[in-house]
Amino acid sequence: MSVFFNIYAHCVMVGCYTDPTGHSLFCDNKKQLLSICDKIKKEILKMFQPGKTVGRFDMNILSYHYVHPGYRVKYKNHYLCKGATDTTVLSITCSQFVLQPKFKGNCGDYLSIQDEIYCGRNTPTFLSYSGDVNVSFISNKRRNYKGFKCSVSAEETEVATTGPTTCNCGIPNKSRRIVNGVTTEVHEFPWQVAIVSKYSNRPYCGGSIISQSWILTAAHCAEVTNLSDKIVVGEHNWALTSDTAAMERLTIHRIHVHPEYNPMKLNNDIALIELSSPLTFSREVSAVCAPQQNEIYDNVNTIVAGWGFTTEGGTHSRPLQKVVVPTMTNNECKNSYGDFITSNMICAGLAEGGKDACQGDSGGPLVVEVDTSSSYMKQIGIVSFGYGCARPGYPGVYSRTSKYIKWIASKTSSTWCPAPGSVEPSTTTTKTPQTKPPPITTDVPPTKKPSVCSCGKVNRASRIVGGVETKVNEYPWQVAIAYSQFSRRAFCGGSIIHSQWVLTAGHCADVMVGSEVVVVGEHDWLSSSESNVREVVNINKIISHPNYNSNTLQNDVALLKLSKTLTFGSDNKVAPICPPEPGNLYERVSATVTGWGTTSSGGSTSYTLQEITIPTMSNSDCKSSYGSSIYDVMICAGLPEGGKDSCQGDSGGPMVTNEGSPFYRQIGVVSWGFDCAAPGFPGVYARLTKYMQWINNQLSDSGWCEPYA
């Protein structure tokens, strides 16, 4: 009997299909390719048998043959072929592999196996997975190469007939690893959970299962978590709905933040989330083991997993990622962070940088393997903070979980399951009542129209060499949008267009639940004295464009009405940006984008406001990259060779230009793009000249501030 329950095979010409990774593609012969894929599906179903080598999986199917008689026939341009199979263990080896080589660090044509990219002569020599396996091949419009031949074999694995015991923990689901792998195997870490907002699939924080009813995470995550948010267990790729049958979204009953948590110093950065109903443990969903209370865990290799930023692109990863980093002594860590490091923290990272917990979400687990024979793992840390991402000399900092065993037991009224051979911690039953934050008041009195409407004037000073970080309050219209007044970073950006109105992206407003705040006058999230005009303002009203489309990102603009009127001082540290000139296409002009987003060097969110200068282009030029995904309500900007992009600024942030004038005008809102600073793929922005009437209608009698001479 076949070990495959489902096989999905589809080949479409570029443009007939929108890839979950965000490719926007072209097309001209969909019907013919779909018939080829039906043939492929039938062939795969006939060939796969348990325990047998199934023969050649020859990707020269792209020259209209599934098993092609000759490897020398080149593959065609503009194809996207994908297949996903559900099996126990699948091994793939490739005997021939010649694709278009990398150009400036990026693959043009490539084979993707379980989200790992191969191109040039980087042959996948041996791969093995459990669960679903995703295979795709994409070719661009440039040169054709020979292609490749791969063999696929399926192997049966033992099936457990009984569930785990009541306190069975810390066993990863491992088979042979991906060579130099970053993506985990499906359910490799069954204790890993994602914390998502009610209407989103993308994790904003991670956590770990420590019992059937309790999730361990970071306090700085819990402080922005609403009871309406969800805990996702059994997840692997949050962008797919079919990669794991074990995925489940669970409701939250209550949240316990450590009583001595310090949001400024991130000391005691630990919290517990109680589920509304207990989990049923299985191979795919189970608990991580507890650390021993007095163990130091210095100089040991650990693993961090999460859906956070990757070092290559600086965007959220869709599949679960992992990275191996060594711990160090706290004295060594103090060489980097000084007295910021307390005994409640543990540090991990390479001295030369390159690997860091930015590859896992905040709140996620830092685990260590304690028994090589049975592969039990226990959690010794919680992702907390760090300077940048994978920077030399700056390790990641984690909450040291061995310091909180008694506190965890007192809140959960149960014992966190220890690894075999460990001494179980003592348990107490002290409970504290749940407290609720005061409601946010949104009723505000009407305000008068400001008497002075000056906008778009920058505070110039000499730049930092290499020009990445802005000067303090250099762009006085820039605002940050944060989950709460206690947040230490922005999840989106925006711009001041009026004393009571902020402009941002529709996809930013789409995830707001009402408790978010706007931060004006901000520069450095780690410093409270950097800017003397910093102010946190509540949001009174959220207005998304009525024709906003979350799939195509057309009309990706939104307005936020503030709960108070901003004061525009004579020092120009908080001021509005000017609107674009009507009818101006702003093609091939130099534009500036600002934000606290990811940087190209490290891939982590920046604590200081960043800027990047890039040229705009015509929409016809942009369509050569994205095709019909570009609409007249969009404007593109970027360098042909890549290297600079708006991934360095938050979504919703402003793209501005001065065109030789002392006044800056906003011409775009950061919207979307493929990857970050990839050659041939510019950033895409909402074109503001298309929305002036809608914006002014919302602002009623006041309108968007115009510059004066």
Please give the Cα distance from 31 to 598 (Å, whole number).
41
Token pair of 708, please? 């004066």
Please give the Cα distance from 535 to 518 (Å, whole number).
8
Backbone angles phi, psi at 91, to 5 degrees: -115, 135
Question: Sign of the CA dihedral 208, 211, 216, 222?
Answer: positive
- 3-state class of 191 per DSSP? coil
Adjacent-strand bridge partners of 90: 129, 154
Token pair of 209, please? 């299962």
Please give the Cα distance from 311 to 603 (Å, whole number).
5
Please give the Cα distance from 518 to 482 (Å, whole number).
6
Q: Give the single-character DSSP code of 190.
A: T
Token pair of 535, please? 């102010």
Which residues are annotated as catalytic?
Answer: 507, 556, 651
Backbone angles phi, psi at 44, to 5 degrees: -60, -45
Please give the Cα distance from 98 to 91 (Å, whole number).
20
Please give the Cα distance from 159 to 643 (Å, whole number).
48
Contact (CB, 8 A) for 309 and 206: no
Adjacent-strand bridge partners of 479: 494, 520
Token pair of 67, please? 């098993």
Adjacent-strand bridge partners of 275: 252
H helix or E strand, kind and range, residue 406: helix 405-412
Backbone angles phi, psi at 626, to 5 degrees: -115, -5
Whose CA is closest to 654, among 482, 467, 456, 494?
494
Whose CA is closest to 79, among 33, 41, 121?
33
Give residue 444's Cα distance to chain centre. 35
Cα angle 655, 656, 661 (rounded to 5 degrees) comes to 170
H helix or E strand, kind and range, residue 620: helix 619-626
- 3-state class of 109 per DSSP? coil
Place of tokens 């499906």: 186
Residues with Cβ < 8 Å from 694, sequence gap 6 or more?
Answer: 545, 557
Cα angle 457, 463, 468 (rounded to 5 degrees) comes to 95
Q: Amino acid identity, residue 278?
A: P
Cα angle 436, 441, 444 (rounded to 5 degrees) comes to 175
Q: Amino acid identity, residue 484?
A: S
SS (H, E, C) 213-274: CEEEECHHHHCCCCCCCEEEECCCECCCCCCCCCCEEEEEEEEEECCCCECCCCECCCEEEE
Contact (CB, 8 A) for 178 and 148: no
Contact (CB, 8 A) for 610 and 594: yes
Please give the Cα distance from 457 to 439 (Å, whole number).
37
